[in-house]
Amino acid sequence: MAKINFGGVEEEVITSEEFSLEKAREVLKDEIVVVLGYGVQGPGQALNMKDNGINVIVGQREKSKSWDRAVQDGFVPGKTLFPIEKAARKGTVIQYLLSDAGQVAVWPNIIKCLDKGNALYFSHGFSIVYKDQTGIVPPDNVDVILVAPKGSGRTVRTNFLDGSGINSSFAIHQDFTGRAKERTLALGIAIGSGYLFPTTFEKEVHSDLTGERGVLMGCLAGVMEAQYNLLRKHGHSPSEAFNETVEELTQSLIRLVAENGMDWMFSNCSTTAQRGALDWAPKFRDAVAPVFDTLYKKVVSGEETRRVLEANSAPDYREKLDKELDVLKNSEMWQTGTTVRSLRPENRKKL
Ligand SMILES: NC(=O)c1ccc[n+]([C@@H]2O[C@H](COP(=O)([O-])OP(=O)(O)OC[C@H]3O[C@@H](n4cnc5c(N)ncnc54)[C@H](OP(=O)(O)O)[C@@H]3O)[C@@H](O)[C@H]2O)c1
């Protein structure tokens, strides 16, 4: 592990310099890694490991779009692609990458497939930490480990193909074999992580649920909508409201934040913008802080996971989600977004 200073706080992290891909291959050379679920994370992790020379099998329910996608991606039915239970029986490392609600539904079948010394791998602390709700309690004679990429499965794959990576946290909940840590790090490197940082299952699920409900998705969508609505209410055109709220952010400013940080972005904007942003940032911070407090409490208490499991276990959960997503999609703001994107020079050329 390398000790790195993060803004004055030292943390131990791992990159492929401390734990090389060659070492990962060596650690995993006798393992059969079974990726259960070919949704969002499944394809990214499975394909990266396969390209890195790891022995990978996919388990996915048959007659589904995800099964067809696995076939298109090169997994061969009966050889490297099997129905979930059949695949689980073949693995020494079982990567449990069904949706979190799916993990609960299928668990009674998976527990029967675990052999002594297997590693049960998660990319989220959800199932283990909220065991009272999920009923997922692994047997004592397996390793229980986690590697959680801090990005969508899609970017796990696209960044890998670009030659970059997504950072991941890792944790060990149960070390039966004495090899849990080396297995975890090897898998973390094999799926193409940028750098790996240690966490616990609890810290991972608490921060992850907060992040996606907060700045990454929920809060972002909420504040964008508030600003767009405000500008529209005061007579600004959809084009003006959208450009000042989303397009300028995604096409310009957030790219600068990604490259050089918020401090650099601030200092490379007009002094008019700097003055205003420095004055208003603390007001927004203080206004949303109580909402974040409530959010974190609801995550820790299990209220959020209860809602997720209830909603996403219903047989018609997909249709219901689609209905809500359609409202967002058909709103003036996001319809404007479709039009604005179609007018980008690179998209106009395609018309
Ligand atoms: N999404 C991300 O980028 C991301 C990021 C970091 C961590 N994670 C974690 O990674 C894990 C996988 O997440 P994901 O987003 O990839 O999940 P997802 O796309 O929602 O997973 C869907 C997969 O689960 C299967 N599935 C769902 N319900 C099922 C059921 N009742 N029986 C059998 N199969 C079922 C789906 O099969 P069908 O296609 O047949 O429905 C599909 O293969 C989760 O623990 C998640 O928290 C996800």
The predicted pLDDT at position 133 comes to 95
Does pLDDT of 350 surpass 80?
no
- The average pLDDT across 193-207 equals 97
- What mean pLDDT is predicted for residues 200-228? 98
**125-182 residue pLDDT tens:** 999 999 999 999 999 999 999 999 999 999 999 999 999 999 999 999 999 999 999 9
Q: How far apart are CA 340 and CA 168, in angstroms?
A: 34
Residue entry with tokens 């602390």:
125
For the CA of 153, the nearest atom of ligand 1 = 3
pLDDT tens for each residue of 282-314: 999 999 999 999 999 999 999 999 999 999 888
Q: Which of 47, 99, 130 to mutate to test the pocket of ligand 1 (most atoms within 8 A of CB)?
A: 99
For residue 39, report the distance from its CA to the centre of ligand 1, in Å: 5
Per-residue tokens: 309? 């499991």
Exposure of 254 in the CB half-sphere (CA atoms within 13 A): 9
- Nearest to 106, CA basis, from 64, 139, 145, 135: 135
Kindly give the number of the ligand 1 atom that is closest to the alpha carbon of 40: 16
Helix axes 317-329, 303-313, angle to 10 degrees: 100
**pLDDT computed for residue 226 by the predictor:** 98
- Cα of 101 from ligand 1 centre, angstroms: 8
Tell me how far the alpha carbon of residue 36 lies from the centroid of ligand 1, in angstroms: 9
CA–CA–CA angle 12, 17, 23 (5° rounding): 105
The one-letter amino acid code at 314 reads: A
Share of the chain above pLDDT 70, in %: 99
pLDDT the model gives residue 351: 62
β 9-13/81-82 pair status: unpaired
| pLDDT surpasses 90 at 238 | yes
pLDDT at 317 over 90: no
Q: Which helix (H) or strand (E) holds 44?
A: helix 41-51
Atom 22 (ligand 1): residue with closest C-alpha? 39
From 8-12, 17-21, 103-107, 316-320, the region with the lowest mean pLDDT: 316-320
State the closest ligand 1 atom to the C-alpha of 41, by its place in the atom list counted from 1: 16
pLDDT(348) > 90: no
- Phi, psi of 11, deg, nearest 5: -130, 155
Q: 3-state class of 184 per DSSP?
A: helix
Give ligand 1 pocket residues (Cβ under 6 A).
37-42, 60-61, 64, 66, 97-100, 102, 105-106, 123-124, 126, 148-149, 152-153
pLDDT of 31-62, one tens digit each?
A: 999 999 999 999 999 999 999 999 999 999 99
CA 183 to CA 200: how far, in whole Å? 16
Q: Looking at residue 318, what is its pLDDT?
A: 84
pLDDT tier at 254, thresholds 50, 70, 90 = very high
The answer to whether residues 96 and 37 touch, using CB atoms and an 8 Å cutoff, is yes
Sign of dihedral through CA atoms 223, 226, 231, 237? positive
Query: How far apart are the C-alpha atoms of 30 and 28, rounded to whole Å?
Result: 6
CA of 293 to the centre of ligand 1 (A): 28
State the burial class of residue 78 (Cβ atoms within 10 Å of its Cβ: 0-12, 13-18, 19+).
exposed
Query: What separation in Å is there between the alpha carbon of 103 and the centre of ligand 1?
Result: 8
Closest ligand 1 atom number to CA of residue 66: 39
Name residue 9's beta-bridge partners: 6
**Separation of CA 37 and ligand 1 centre (Å):** 6
pTM, rounded to two decimals: 0.93
Q: What is the mean pLDDT of the chain?
A: 96
pLDDT at 223 over 80: yes
Point out the ligand 1 atom lying closest to the alpha carbon of residue 38: 43
Q: Which token pair is 28?
A: 């995993």
* pLDDT of 315 strictly over 90: no
Taking 90 as the threshold, does the pLDDT of residue 255 lie above it?
yes
124 is catalytic: yes
Give dist(CA 135, CA 138) in Å, integer.
Answer: 9
Nearest CA to ligand 1 atom 17: 99
- Provide the pLDDT for residue 118: 98
Q: Tell me the β-bridge partners of 58.
A: 35, 81
